[in-house]
Amino acid sequence: MPQISVIKGDITKVKVDAVVNAANTTLMGGGGVDGAIHRAAGPALYNACEKFHGCPTGEARITGGFNLPAKFIIHTPGPVWHGGDNGEDQLLANSYRNSLQLADQHLCRTVAFPSISTGVYAFPLQRAAKIAITTIKNFLPTANFVDQVTMVCFDDRTFAAYQSQLY
């Protein structure tokens, strides 16, 4: 039975088949989760990301996990919030869906996500949590391999927002 869970913790320490990185469109590392994942995975990740020459918002790319406990890192640039009338909801849903599809194609059963776009990209947290959980719930019945998705939240506010969307 596929399931979704919400935990509070450090996504760089979660042991799963694939960790999703809330990347920027260059895929070259940045602040927040992206910077933490790049630092924890080590310098080989930068080299692996270079070959993609970036990634458009809402799409996803996959690399090895390097020094992370995860087998793979899936990089997806979420949308920057511009008021909500610029397709942000759809782009955010695409980030989750495309990441899950890539995980499924690479035979991953367990996937961990951060809260995409809710940090410096300023996507409203409750709205982002609703889109994330809805997209994951809609994807799981169609998955061939993915059967456990964990939202890894770095603070109480984020944890509460995702937890409230589970039921």
Catalytic residues: 34
Measured at the CA of 117, the angle between CA 113 and CA 118, to 5 degrees, comes to: 95
Residues 44 and 158: their CA atoms lie apart, in Å, by 30
Report DSSP state, residue 82. S
Q: In terms of Cα–Cα distance, which of 96, 95, 158, 154 is closest to 125?
A: 158
Q: Sign of the C-alpha dihedral, residues 136, 98, 27, 55?
A: negative
Residues 88 and 127: their CA atoms lie apart, in Å, by 11
DSSP string, 48-75: HHHTTT---TT--EEEE-TTSSSSEEEE
